[in-house]
A and B are shown apart, each in its own frame.
Chain A
Amino acid sequence: ETGVTQSPTHLIKTRGQQVTLRCSSQSGHNTVSWYQQALGQGPQFIFQYYREEENGRGNFPPRFSGLQFPNYSSELNVNALELDDSALYLCAGVNRITYEQYFGPGTRLTVT
């Protein structure tokens, strides 16, 4: 158990729609990272939030956005969904002292 939870577990959306995925950490990590994992591939870094501000971004378009709240919970928003956005979305609480990252179980998004 990592203490990182994500909701929902599974989600089905239609191309062009918008989606919000949620993440919370029982340990209250003040840094959270989001990753996208396509089937059969390793996770790809989307962005990271530290103290409610984006603090690093991977090669993802602006329609991928996020929020971090004062209680360190976080959201990933994706606008104008495309079929290729179908993937497992993972969030991770980051321990900035030990550099360990604690991943949640992920949200499986299917875009039809």
Chain B
Amino acid sequence: DAKTTQPNSMESNEEEPVHLPCNHSTISGTDYIHWYRQLPSQGPEYVIHGLTSNVNNRMASLAIAEDRKSSTLILHRATLRDAAVYYCILSAPRVAGNMLTFGGGTRLMVKP
């Protein structure tokens, strides 16, 4: 399985943008880049995913490097509710099904 590397933790101030990095140097051509987050005492929550192009949705933006070996999840204005563990995951659903391999993730702390 292609693996991802994320910082263990990051801090942000409320209402400021947050850039969460993820390295995935062994990504294959069929791998999608998924981001999930897990708030305390809850199940993981889908955030965003992409293949090659940058993606935007109501929650966040995903910036994918041109060589696809890294990506960045962008929260445009962090709120206290965004404090969570953020997981960057590679998955090839068309090839290997929908299994998600979670790593340790990045614990995002948001300061008021």
Binding site for B on A (CB under 8 A): 2, 4, 31, 33, 35, 41-45, 48, 55-56, 58, 90, 92, 94, 96, 99-106
Instruction: Find out whether the CB atom of B97 lies under 8 angstroms from the CB atom of A103.
Output: no
Most buried by B among A35, A45, A56, A99: A99
Pair A45/B101 contact, Cβ less than 8 Å: yes
Which residues of A sit under 8 angstroms from B87, Cβ to Cβ?
42
Report B-chain residues with C-beta under 8 Å of the C-beta of A99.
Answer: 32, 34, 49, 91, 93, 98
Sorting the interface of chain B by its residue count into under 10, 10 to 19, 20 to 34 or 35 or more gives 20 to 34
Query: 13 pairs across A/B with beta carbons < 8 Å?
Result: A2-B43, A33-B98, A42-B85, A42-B105, A43-B44, A45-B99, A48-B97, A55-B97, A90-B44, A94-B98, A99-B49, A101-B44, A104-B43
Contact present for A105 and B43 (CB under 8 Å): yes
Q: Given the known A-B contacts A43-B44, A99-B91, are A56 and B97 also in contact in the complex, defined by CB atoms under 8 Å?
A: yes
- Contact between B44 and A31, CB atoms less than 8 A apart: no
Chain A residues positioned under 8 Å from B36 (CB to CB): 101
Proximity string of chain B (14-32) to chain A, C-beta cutoff 8 Å, 1 when within and 0 when not: 0000000000000000001
Q: Hey, which chain A residues are within 8 Å of B102, CB to CB? A: 35, 42-44
Asked whether, in the complex, the Cβ of B100 is within 8 Å of the Cβ of A102, the reply is no
Residues from chain A with a CB closer than 8 A to the CB of B46 are 100-102
Contacts of A41 in B (CB 8 A): 104
Q: How far is the CB of A47 from chain B (nearest CB, A)?
A: 9
